[in-house]
Structure 1
Amino acid sequence: MSVPKKMKALVAYGKGDYKLEIDYPTPECGPDDIIIKTEACGICAGDLKCFHGAAMFWGNEDQPAWVRPPFIPGHEFLGEIAEVGKNVTEFKTEERITADQIVPCGKCRFCKTGKYWMCQPHATFGFQKENNGGMAEYVRYPKTAVISRVPAELSLEKALLIEPYGCSKHAVDRAGIGNEDIVVISGAGTLGLGMITYAKMKNPAKLISLDIIDERLEKAKEFGADIAMNPGKENVVEKVLELTDGYGCDVYIEATGHPSSVKQGLNMIRKLGTFVEFSVFGEETTVDWSIIGDRKELDVLGSHLSPYCYPFVIENIMNGKLKTDGIVSHVFHIEEWEKAFEYAAGSHGDFKVAIKF
């Protein structure tokens, strides 16, 4: 496959300053690198928050900037190998592959102990110029990229869910769900639905989905939720307490990124319960920390990325155990990136939107 010198790419120069370039330099293939021709790239809520200038990405007085412009966004992508470096022996051209969002250094203490997803330098695809993302015709995978093969027979709409479903799996695994647990998953977007369909495989006593959009709740029930409730229409804290003889749920997974969902979960969860925080927030969240300590002695866990999850996710998307129907609803050409970002925000009822080339 011949790789051209120039390519189409969406380039982020600053907050809200994204431009489609039609003759952006194609990444060069070093001796240990792989260049893929991008098939498509999903748009994550994190991509949208970055575009709109969230402090998590651009920094503020309390935290340094994470992004390093100019960069090409996108981390939910896959493609066909167009070129391999002379030292690459495990992969060959025309194979279909994808990679974890993190690009581990392989040298820090986290990488050396197998916890590569918390790599100290924390290079990631789609937010720094050194590791440009998938909203471009070609992407470079460096030597340390965590690569997985994608079966040729896996449809694009399903393959685009490998990265988000990997994140969903890790969050659910962090919760340590047992078959006697009452589990509440707050948020039924793409990630929340991925959590629902995977958590169902854990066979919890009761699986409850919360969302303020009824159409999403219907999808959650289709994907395995036993109960679906809308916090905008009913007092879900009271409902969960009623369902649990006043104790509260055993596990609460927060997947909305909205401060109200955090407070809701702390009030809903039982003493000695497990609270898993997955979301990236666009604003600070304030809670009464005495609930966590003095009142309930909760286990509060974070969840970041998708370590060691891709092989399982690929296998179980392929065999249908992880449900995917109707999640990827629109795939726009790169020239329509602004429309794609608009649809990805959910204003038209979409779960997952992607960009293709």
Structure 2
Amino acid sequence: MQNLPKEIKRLVNHGPKDYRLERAPLPEPGSNELLVKVGACGICASDVHCHHGAPMYWGSDSQPAWVKTPVVVGHEFYGTVVGYGPGALEHFNVKVGERVIAEQIVPCNKCRFCQDGKYWMCEKHDIYGFQREDADGGMADYMIFKPNSRVHRIPDSLTHEECALIEPFACAVHAVNRATIEFNDVVVLAGAGPLGLGMIQATRLKNPKLFIVLDTVPARLELARKLGADLVINPLEEDAISKVKQLTDGYGCDVYIEATGNPAGVKQGLQMIRKLGRYVEFSVFGEETTVDWSIIGDRKELEVRGSHLGPHCYETVINFFARKLFTAEGVVTHTLPLEQWEQGFAMAASGESIKVLLVP
């Protein structure tokens, strides 16, 4: 590990609205650990919610705190292998100088879910950027990939922006897979943010009969149209529920994917979807959502499916970018140095951007 700095910059979460850009010694990789120079780290909606103090991260009357501070922020990262501990190169089948990405979860490999191969639902559930020591994140000059990380190599053909979108687009592909879209389906996707734009590209490859995208930001709707939506609707300008029902002989859509992060998107979907439809819930919400659950059971007998992380989808996304089936064009709207993290978080929270990247 020659010619590496002795000190690094890193953004550390000490608590709600208490994030600090700090200097620390260059981390030293242990056995089966990689030292990675971070190429970029995206700001996710979950990062914004955590910074603002959302109960799902910091605890409430109904749940304990999940975040363990102090912890280096960031889970949408990629980088280059610059150092390694004993056995790491063989363990991960990588070489120094290769670009790599680790999935956002660091599974324990011991719990019932990991033992059953469902590592993304690991009971311990360490996610890079949220758990002290076990999973320091990527908003730093350098980071450590832990021995239990699921690491993927990135080909040279991918652009910087494409590399930075692998993690969110893996989550997007998993959500679309959860919908089990069929050729004759009318599919509605609510939310054309960074994840939604990945879902649009994935859904287009499924080739449903009619694909409708909802959002309240005109620029995002225009991009959604370019990326493959057959029809776009702004719920602030027209009655989206009535429009979808008109297009489906009054029945409603077959599939509804919720990716708005707004409780209104949940209620809208339950009213818009047909009986026996498939509802996929993806969003991370900053507040609790209340709905009439009798819609799900007694009135419509819906299939409600959650979607969490991007299991078994990283290699798919890398392959789709390499084959030009996915694009990053128009999705990454702002790139800032790590020192301007406050501006980046504010932009991500305000909706004036789509995807903001921090580059160390």
Which of the five TM-score ranges fits, normalised by the shorter chain? over 0.9
Counterpart in 1 of 2:330?
A: 326
If the length of structure 1 is used for normalisation, what is the TM-score?
Answer: 0.98
Alignment of 1:118-267 (within 5 A): 118-130=121-133, 131-267=135-271
* In 1, Cα distance between equivalents of 2:322 and 2:199: 17
* Number of residue pairs the alignment of both structures matches: 355
The residue correspondences of 1:64-79 to structure 2 (distance < 5 A) are 64-79=64-79
Aligned counterparts of 2:247 and 2:351: Cα–Cα separation in 1 = 33
Cα drift, residue 87 of structure 1 = 1.3
Structure 1, gaps ≥5 residues long: none
- Does the CA contact (< 8 Å) of 2:94 and 2:153 recur in 1? no
Superposed CA RMSD: 1.0
TM-score (norm 2): 0.97
Letter in 1 for 2:42: G
For 1:157, the aligned partner's letter is: E
How far, CA to CA, are the matches of 1:25 and 1:340 in structure 2? 25
Distance 1:155 1:300 in 2: 36
Q: Deviations over 1:25-81 (max 9, x none)?
A: 332210111110111101101000000000111111111111000011110001111
Q: Would the aligned equivalents of 2:211 and 2:229 in 1 still touch at CA under 8 Å?
A: yes
The amino acid that maps onto 1:212 is T
Cα distance in structure 2, aligned partners of 1:169 and 1:194: 7
- 1:192 and 1:184 map into 2 onto residues whose CA distance is 11
Task: State how far apart, in whole Å, the 1-side matches of 2:176 and 2:157 are.
Answer: 27
Partner of 1:13: 14
Match of 2:94 in 1: 91
User: How far apart in 2 are the matches of 1:327 and 1:240?
Assistant: 26
Deviation at 1:112, TM superposition (A): 1.3
Secondary structure at 1:183's aligned position in 2?
A: strand
| Structure 1 position 341, deviation (Å) | 1.0
Offset at residue 108 of structure 1 (A): 1.1
1:251·1:274 contact (CA, 8 Å) conserved in 2?
yes
Q: Secondary structure at the match of 2:298?
A: helix
Distance, in Å, in 1 between the alignment partners of 2:335 and 2:277 is 40
- Residue type of the alignment partner of 1:66: W
Aligned residue in 1 for 2:51: 51
Contact conserved, 2:348 with 2:354, CA < 8 A, in 1?
yes
Q: Which residue in the other structure is 1:298 paired with?
A: 302
SS of residue in 2 equivalent to 1:293: coil
Q: Which residue of 1 aligns with 2:358?
A: 355
> 2-side partners of 1:47 and 1:317: how far apart?
25
Does the 8 A contact of 1:58 with 1:67 survive in 2?
yes
Percentage identity across paired residues of the two chains: 53
Shift of residue 345, structure 1, vs aligned partner:
2.2
C-alpha offsets along residues 209-248 of structure 1, whole Å, 9 cap, x if unaligned? 0001111000000010000000111110000000000100
Once residues 143 and 298 of structure 2 are traced to their aligned partners in structure 1, the CA distance between those partners, rounded to angstroms, is 49
Residue 311 (str. 1) matches residue 312 (str. 2) = no
Q: Which residue does the alignment assign to 2:106?
A: 103
CA distance in 2, matches of 1:119, 1:57: 17
Letter in 2 for 1:55: P
Q: What's 1:62 paired with?
A: 62
- CA shift, 1:346, in A, is 4.2
